[in-house]
Amino acid sequence: MTEKSEVRFEEAEKYKNLILTLIAVICVFLSWLVRQYPLLLGIVTILSVYLLTGDRYQWVFIWKKTFYRDMIGLRVLLVTMFTIWVWERTGTTVVTRWSKVAKKTPDKEAFVMGDRSLTFRQGDEFSNRIAWYFKRQGFKTEEVIALFMETQPEYVFLWLGLAKLRVTTALVNTNLRGAQLIHCLRIAGCKAVVFGDEMTDAIKAIQSEIPDIPLFQFNSPERETAPVLQDTIPLAAELNEMTNEPFSDVEPAKPRDTLLYIYTSGTTGFPKAAIITNIRYLLIPLGVHTSGQLVSSDIIYDPLPLHHTAGGVLGAGQCLILGCTVVLRKKFSASNYWADVAKHKCTAAQYIGEICRYLLTVPLSDNDRAHNVRIVIGNGLRPQIWQEFVDRFGVKRVLEFYGATEGNSNLVNLDSKVGAIGFLSRLVSSIYPLTLVKCDEVTGQILRNENGRCINCGPYEPGLLLGKIDPKKAILTFAGYADKTASEKKMVRNVRIKGDCYFNTGDILEMDYYGYFYFKDRTGDTFRWRGENVSTAEVEGVISNLVGLKDTVVYGVPIPYVEGKAGMAAIADPEKKVDLKSLADGLKTSLPAYARPLFIRILPEPPLTATFKLKKRVLMEQGFNINVHNDPIYFLDQKSGSFTPLTQKLYDDLIQGVIRL
């Protein structure tokens, strides 16, 4: 045993003598049987040697500690897999499932936001008008329309109406602007854009560059009088002329047909359009619903953007697929979170790691416990604040999960184990084929043995998480991206045997002896900040253009007391002529807020390796520590929006958490 395993199993050692005593008693009993039945002698001898040598007693202890958890996990897995199997066999899609749910409780509130709501009947009628309208406009099955809109009750029913016409909707991130926005429209082959009136400025800025794409402006009921952008179609007004009769004018979709595109940052380049099929959309909310033991009478609080998987699939899907009422909020507010939950009598609430930290920074209030929430559901709750969060807000259960928009590698923490993102049974791990393999933690390069196979990680060994791809099983499929080349890059072949294929999550995890998984870091060139994945290659390209094509390295750096990693750019500028004001202004117009670097480091020379590759490891290790080198570092002031020199006092304030980000 290693030193680490000895420490981890101190408690197990307490039971060693008891276990060995029990084994001895059993052996005495078996010896009596041997005298009666001599043929048993060989079996007893082999069994005794096996049990009394090595660390076999550890597995008895693991079984004792995890049996109940594993049985619950097995039930959740089997129920989810069986339901999805039935739905796929019967041709169920999001549209057909919604039809059954809406008919069951037509007058129940489906989506609520503020003082406004839509019932299941109203939502269905609205989606019918959308389907009839875009059919009249000439749109056909399998074409793509972009939806560029902030959260509102009509959002989901807009794309649901298009799904009835079998038109795929691309859910565009409302933070995107300029070239990024144009890229997202082009990569998915969008034939039109439906945008909210609040996104008028963003559309106006690119309108001249997309003359071939029709634009439909939707003014929400709250802003019916908002002006309509020139050369766009006033969708909200035209919908009033359409019938709300059930739409059934096209051949029904199939479970594996594409339903949505959801954009996700990759390790390189602009955002990628991940394919969300009908069966994938059905699976995500169902899995969480089953894991959390939710029921249709639950009211879910979903303050997350609807263009993301967490808000638009996991959260909104509780309404569309399972019949729950879902409470929305246009933009997350830490000070109003628990007040909203109490006002709408929510019984479950969603979070991401950032949200939990923000909530803890709000002053103590009567709202902290004036709610009926029995479970919070999300991902990214830091171990350091987990218990404090639970204790302060009186949350009975935390359902932490792990998963990627496009991936098939999903984990869930069913027993609220602090810090864990999920688990796999150590005793029957083959039931759900995920694996941790050894890799270079900085580059993400997978390490292989002399036979060309991936090397499995043991307990407490950081490794890259891979999920086996099996097209025959809906729960293990990988639909990929609109860009097929990007899809191929996420596949790893010959992992365990020749010809097998696994999905590469790009995340480094660690597993303990009981099968619990803990998130360690992301590989490659992506880091997470403000709940978003940031592509360093994309930011590097923008900065390089703004500073005259100088060598630029972008990476994430951790800041104490802050979730994720903040962006930092190291710019090679021997003459020190970088115009920081111009750079700040350019970043503001070229990148969404979460992708703008907080730190700029000016290097005296390009950080090149012998093979002319930009170094990153040393820069990442040094971070924004001004005491380990003499290069000037600048910090993006949150109030002025300009870069200011990072002084010793400013550095200390950041390290000590005095400055709030």
d(CA 542, CA 48): 67
d(CA 449, CA 116): 60
Whether 96 contacts 164, CB under 8 Å: no
Task: Note whether 138 and 7 are same-domain residues.
Answer: no
d(CA 126, CA 153): 11
Q: What is the CATH number for 137?
A: 3.40.50.980
Last residue of a domain, one of 290, 313, 331: 331
d(CA 338, CA 365): 9
Tens digits of residue pLDDT in 141-191? 999 999 999 999 999 999 999 999 999 999 999 989 998 899 999 999 999
Task: Note whether 12 and 118 are same-domain residues.
Answer: no
d(CA 306, CA 260): 12
Task: Note whether 103 and 47 are same-domain residues.
Answer: no
Residue with tokens 């875009």: 134
**The dihedral sign for the CA sequence 490, 496, 497, 500:** negative
Token code pair at residue 410: 């999903």
**483 assigned to some structural domain:** no
**Burial class, 250, CB count within 10 angstroms (exposed 0-12 / middle 13-18 / buried 19+):** middle
State which amino acid sits at residue 621. E
Tens digits of residue pLDDT in 501-523? 999 998 889 999 899 999 887 77
**493 assigned to some structural domain:** no
pLDDT at position 383:
85
Residue 490: is its pLDDT beyond 70?
A: yes
Per-residue pLDDT, averaged over 126-151, amounts to: 96
Angle, helices 120-136/154-164, rounded to nearest 10 degrees: 50
Nearest-CA neighbor of 295 among 327, 326, 328, 322? Answer: 322
Task: Note whether 28 and 130 are same-domain residues.
Answer: no
**324 assigned to some structural domain:** yes
The pLDDT confidence band at residue 15, using thresholds 50, 70 and 90, is low
How many Cβ atoms sit within 10 Å of the Cβ of residue 467? 24
The pLDDT confidence band at residue 47, using thresholds 50, 70 and 90, is low
Task: Note whether 44 and 101 are same-domain residues.
Answer: no
Residue 5: is its pLDDT beyond 80?
A: no
d(CA 529, CA 457): 28
pLDDT at position 212:
93
Q: What is the CATH number for 552?
A: 3.30.300.30
The pLDDT confidence band at residue 269, using thresholds 50, 70 and 90, is low
Residue with tokens 């380049």: 269
Phi, psi of 583 (to 5 degrees): -65, -45
**361 assigned to some structural domain:** no
Token code pair at residue 339: 């007040």
Whether 374 contacts 396, CB under 8 Å: yes
d(CA 566, CA 638): 13
**The dihedral sign for the CA sequence 202, 207, 212, 215:** positive
Task: Note whether 173 and 113 are same-domain residues.
Answer: yes
Q: How many CA atoms lie within 13 A of 552 on its CB side?
A: 24
Mean pLDDT for all residues in the chain: 87
Strands 516-522 and 422-423: antiparallel
**494 assigned to some structural domain:** no
Task: Note whether 26 and 112 are same-domain residues.
Answer: no
Tens digits of residue pLDDT in 341-390? 999 999 999 998 778 878 988 899 988 999 999 999 999 888 888 999 99
Residue with tokens 């129920």: 79
**The dihedral sign for the CA sequence 334, 360, 561, 4:** negative
d(CA 198, CA 181): 15
Task: Note whether 199 and 281 are same-domain residues.
Answer: yes
**642 assigned to some structural domain:** yes
**521 assigned to some structural domain:** no
Residue with tokens 């103590």: 364
d(CA 461, CA 2): 12
Whether 590 contacts 540, CB under 8 Å: no
Task: Note whether 203 and 315 are same-domain residues.
Answer: yes
Phi-psi map region of 189: left, alpha, beta (phi>0 left; psi -120 to 50 alpha): left
d(CA 481, CA 436): 24
Residue with tokens 């709501």: 117
Task: Note whether 13 and 110 are same-domain residues.
Answer: no
**284 assigned to some structural domain:** yes
Last residue of a domain, one of 331, 357, 372: 331
Task: Note whether 107 and 244 are same-domain residues.
Answer: yes
Range of the domain at 41: 3-54
pLDDT at position 4:
45
Token code pair at residue 587: 């970043």
Nearest-CA neighbor of 560 among 442, 631, 653? Answer: 653
d(CA 493, CA 466): 11
| Segment of 254-258, 361-365, 526-530, 562-566 carrying the highest mean pLDDT | 254-258
Last residue of a domain, one of 282, 307, 331: 331
Task: Note whether 124 and 195 are same-domain residues.
Answer: yes
Tens digits of residue pLDDT in 186-221? 999 999 999 999 999 999 999 999 999 999 999 988
SS3 per-residue string spanning 205-266: HHHHHCCCCCEEEECCHHHCCCCCCCCCEEHHHHHCCCCCCCCCCCCCCCCCCEEEEEEECC
Q: What is the pTM of this model?
A: 0.80
**The dihedral sign for the CA sequence 306, 308, 312, 315:** negative
Phi-psi map region of 553: left, alpha, beta (phi>0 left; psi -120 to 50 alpha): beta
**The dihedral sign for the CA sequence 542, 544, 547, 549:** negative
Residue 49: is its pLDDT beyond 70?
A: no
Domain count within the chain: 3
